[in-house]
A = this chain, B = another copy of it.
Amino acid sequence: MPQKISENIQDYLKRIYEFTLSGGRASTNQLAQALGISAASVTNMVQKLSKTEPPYLTYEKHQGVKLTAFGQQAALKIIRRHRLIEIYLVEKLGYTWDEVHAEAEILEHAMSSLLEKRIDAALDHPKFDPHGDPIPDINLEIPEIEQTALSSLKIGNKGHVLRVPNEDPQVLRYLGKFGIRPGAHIKLISRTPYDQTMRIKITETGNEAIIGPSLGKKISIAKDS
């Protein structure tokens, strides 16, 4: 019997999913920091989640955790709701893309299957959230998309933006100011020698923007021609 799953656990699973997207395992400290709680609490919880029937994750002492297929489905369900809410708020209620993440972080836990269906239908089954993250479909399938970090561009290369980091409203407002959003076409103008700061040109707006290397790693693009 899939027991009812608390809001807290939903957030654990979502974080673990995100941290293990590129393979590997999520560490105790990583989760503690992301969830804003102590490492001891995380250890305690993941031990519990590894002993449910069926288990949500596999836990090996000192080796971190990894979701089971069961846990992954649970995570994807929340992620679908989170991203549907984000795009709904932008499309239908006039939110800006820097406002929606915090809101969705709460609403995702209060959303029924029915509301999920209605919102999905109202938006005509959207495929991406406002930050370019893919929305798992009704069967929780999520398309694999070929993507590169902005920071890996060579000078003079062109590309278009696929995905921007969605946590930090300040960053989103900064990016928005220059028109750096999913779909925007960009070209790498220059890179400073020591700290690797990039100057990029955005085709649509004609703007130039300065992007540091750590932010550059978090912006996903597809290379053009």
Contact = CB atoms under 8 A, between A and B. Distances in A.
Nearest to A112: B103
By size class, the interface of chain A is: 10 to 19
A122 interface: yes
Contact of A119 (B93, B107, B110): B93
B95 A103 contact: no
A111 B93 CA distance: 13
A93 B93 CA distance: 13
Contacts of A93: 115, 118-119, 122
Interface string A78-95: 000000000001001111
Contact of A112 (B92, B106, B115, B119): B106
Contacts of A217: none
Most B C-beta atoms less than 10 A away, residue of A94, A115, A119 = A115
A110 B107 contact: yes
Given A93-B115, A103-B112, 20 more contacts: A89-B115, A89-B118, A92-B92, A92-B122, A93-B118, A93-B119, A93-B122, A94-B118, A95-B118, A99-B114, A103-B114, A103-B115, A106-B110, A106-B112, A107-B107, A107-B110, A107-B111, A107-B115, A109-B110, A110-B110
Interface of A: 89, 92-95, 99, 103, 106-107, 109-112, 114-115, 118-119, 122
Q: 9 shortest A-B CB distances, which residue pairs?
A: A110-B110, A93-B118, A106-B110, A107-B110, A103-B112, A93-B122, A94-B118, A103-B115, A109-B110
15 contacts: A92-B92, A92-B122, A93-B115, A93-B119, A93-B122, A95-B118, A99-B114, A103-B112, A103-B114, A106-B110, A106-B112, A107-B107, A107-B111, A107-B115, A109-B110
